[in-house]
Amino acid sequence: MKPSLSVQNLASGSQRFKVMLATAFWFGLSPIIPGTVGTIPAVVLFVGTALWIPAAWQWLVITGLLLVSCILCVYLGEWAEKFWGAKDPRHFVLDEVAGFFLTVLLFRVPDLGATLFWGFVATRAFDIIKPPPASSLEVLPAGWGILVDDLVASLYAVAFLHAASRLLPSFFGL
């Protein structure tokens, strides 16, 4: 049975609100690369934070955004698996949002464009590749399995970015 976003599935306002959150404001409903497209709201929030929040407070705002996305991911994970009828459904993108926030929390260079570009690319690449043990963590129950594998993949992205920025500083505006 292939689930859909039919009128019957979204009959209540509560269902519509959950879909809006789970898909990162509907970006995750993209028919192609929903995880990548679903990360766009996190990118916008990060850029807004970097441009309009004083530097000394940015880590706190990004940490708050990370925590909110993690809490929502765990809270909505089981619902999403039932709603879409799949383990770690592709349109549920709060895990990708949390992964991106973790990457930019732990890896920053002075050049916002370089942080944004390399943080996004590395986060998405390691999320898709899912090196061990990230891939094995998908077996955790519901929202935890959806979230933790992406966070571990983001830690790989952070380690890669720190190493790459030291080996190839000009690629990072250093």
Residue 60 has pLDDT above 90, yes or no: yes
Residue 103 lies in a domain: yes
Residue 2 lies in a domain: no
Residue 88 lies in a domain: yes
Residue 2 has pLDDT above 60, yes or no: no
30-34, 42-46, 114-118, 136-140: range with lowest mean pLDDT? 136-140
Omega of the bond leading into 31 within 30 degrees of 0 (cis)? no
Predicted confidence (pLDDT) per residue in 105-154, tens digit: 999 999 999 999 999 999 999 999 999 999 889 889 889 999 999 999 99
Which residues form the domain of 116? 13-172
Residue 10 has pLDDT above 70, yes or no: no
Predicted pLDDT of residue 7: 40
Report percent pLDDT > 70 for the chain: 94
CA 111 to each of CA 133, 164, 172: distance values in angstroms, whole numbers, following the listed order? 31, 15, 7
Residue 97 lies in a domain: yes
Residue 6 lies in a domain: no
Q: Do 36 and 99 meet the contact criterion of CB atoms below 8 Å apart? A: no
Residue 5 lies in a domain: no
Residue 1 lies in a domain: no
2-6, 67-71, 89-93, 117-121: range with lowest mean pLDDT? 2-6
**Cβ atoms within 10 Å of 8's Cβ, excluding its own:** 8
Residue 7 lies in a domain: no
Predicted pLDDT of residue 67: 98
Residue 14 has pLDDT above 50, yes or no: yes
* Structural domains counted in the chain: 1
Among 76, 91, 89, 85, residue whose Cα is nearest residue 29: 91
